[in-house]
Amino acid sequence: MIYIGNHVSVAKGFLAMGKEELSLGGTTFAFFTRNPRGGNAKEIVPDDVAALRELLQERNFGKLVAHAPYTMNLCSAKESVLEFSNRVLKEDLQKMENLPGNYFNFHPGSHLGQGFEKAADMIAEALDRVIKPDQKTIVLLETMAGKGTEVGGCFEELREIRDRAAIPEKIGVCLDTCHVWDAGYDIADDLDGVLDEFDRVIGLDHLCAVHLNDSKNTCGSHKDRHEKLGLGQIGLDALLRVVRHPVLQGKPFILETPNDNEGYAKEIACVKAAQEADRGSADEEKL
């Protein structure tokens, strides 16, 4: 099985996020550690966080996938952006330790003409300044579409960042289906091949979470425009093959489709129905 959910708002507190996801039928969720465009983070209220942790355990939730703000760019050419980004990374990783054992996902950033080599060093050095050997949070580099000077548009770039970090075992990868498709990885017609390449380049042991999205674009377009499941160029059948793939079982899948709560509930139900169908087939084979 997988764990399926979507982004929920932290505005009403941590326990409220868990209750909202339960109402949608989800078994995991994502949340922005602060406003997606930057700003201050939600203050930690110990009783509220403790109540969420209790709920997650009681209802058998999968790991959560917190998301850094989009404005965090650890390889920016602008000093003010670098200062902000490093502060955000430090503060948010510290706060994530209040929800131990979960994930903190971020976009590697854009090098803005400085080149990938310098960007990889900058990102690894930023991670080295804040990642501690005893921390419970795993930091995830997200696969990107490769538009402009964006870092992470191929598996090799993510591997390079991990390889340069001092504590790579605290760094994993979140595979975004829209992004890898837009980057040129054909998960519709060659999912096994894409996952084999990921394993060869990075290692499937380091693939920790999945963003489950369709794409408005053709494969290799490098545009990054998400679509609802089944309404884009990847297609529902292909995305459900991702959901069913044996090497991805047990991982949190996060919907980032352009939806409201009603739409998310329908997509969650669709994914869970595919899982139930697989489970039923497996049970029949045992008879």
Indicate which residues carry an active-site annotation: 37, 67, 70, 107, 142, 176, 179, 211, 224, 226, 256
**Angle (deg, nearest 10), helices 79-96 and 116-130:** 40
Q: What CA–CA distance (Å, rounded) separates 234 from 214? A: 6
Task: Give which of 164, 109, 175 is closest to 140, Cα–Cα.
Answer: 175
Q: Given the DSSP bridges, would you call strands 171-176 and 207-212 parallel, antiparallel or unpaired?
A: parallel
Q: What CA–CA distance (Å, rounded) separates 247 from 267? A: 22
Supply 154's token pair. 């191929």
Which runs of consecutive H residues, i.e. helices, occur in the chain?
14-24, 46-58, 79-96, 116-130, 155-164, 177-183, 191-201, 236-244, 261-286
